[in-house]
Structure 1
């Protein structure tokens, strides 16, 4: 009995052993290999996140350096302590007034 599909182009293409080897190789490289495409995508995403973090921390370092330079002045140290940590001088009272904005969040002034 003769195969009715044997003369068709798509059957010749699918029955070719080189096509099967190529499909196996491609699927192996995409999904199963230690250096697969999916692993590379994941690693590239992690690298991008780390580079973004690097930029963020560089900006933070620059801001901190500016703050350190400004703290060489004693008046700036006192201003920072009063604003950030609510420190006060002796015989001085501090009142903190909190307002709610339109969203219901508390805002200090």
Structure 2
């Protein structure tokens, strides 16, 4: 004897069969290609354009991501160029000042390279902390000359 749950299963399966039959009748005269793709997607020029754009964005040797990396590198190099041009001007100014003034040259040699006269001793006092025995770059140093 069939229970109410069996009747539900039978009626559900009958409904699914009827639904499938209905869709079969509706789609019998329809071409699958036309049903799956809209008309603009079946256009040769549209498909060609999409394939071209995809190729240029992802697969070409000069793809979008490579171009973006190259542009960032170019901007970085341009910033470095500006920095080095300023450094060159600063160094040329310093060189002109040192070549024209003997006292400035002597002071530069004493401060930068710790030169001393034969009859004196020089003590270097580092005012900032030292890291690993080496003074930090930009640390202020004081020279004490004893004659």
TM-score category of the 2 structures, normalised to the smaller one: 0.7 to 0.9
1:6 deviates by 4.8
Give the structure-1-normalised TM-score.
Answer: 0.75
- Which residue is 1:28 aligned to? 55
Confirm whether residue 83 of structure 1 aligns to residue 119 of structure 2.
Answer: no
- In structure 2, distance between residues paired with 1:57 and 1:100: 28
Matches within 5 A, 1:25-64: 25-64=52-91
- Structure 1: 5+ residue stretches without partners: none
Q: Deviations over 1:40-97 (max 9, x none)?
A: 2122112111111110111011101111111121111100000000110111111111
- The secondary structure found in structure 2 opposite 1:97 is strand
Question: Aligned-residue CA RMSD in angstroms?
Answer: 2.6
- In structure 1, distance between residues paired with 2:128 and 2:82: 34
- Structure 2: 5+ residue stretches without partners: 1-27, 130-134, 143-147
- In structure 1, distance between residues paired with 2:81 and 2:54: 35
Q: Are residues 63 and 40 of structure 1, via their aligned partners in 2, closer, same or farther at CA, if it must alter by over 3 Å?
A: same
Give the structure-2-normalised TM-score.
Answer: 0.58
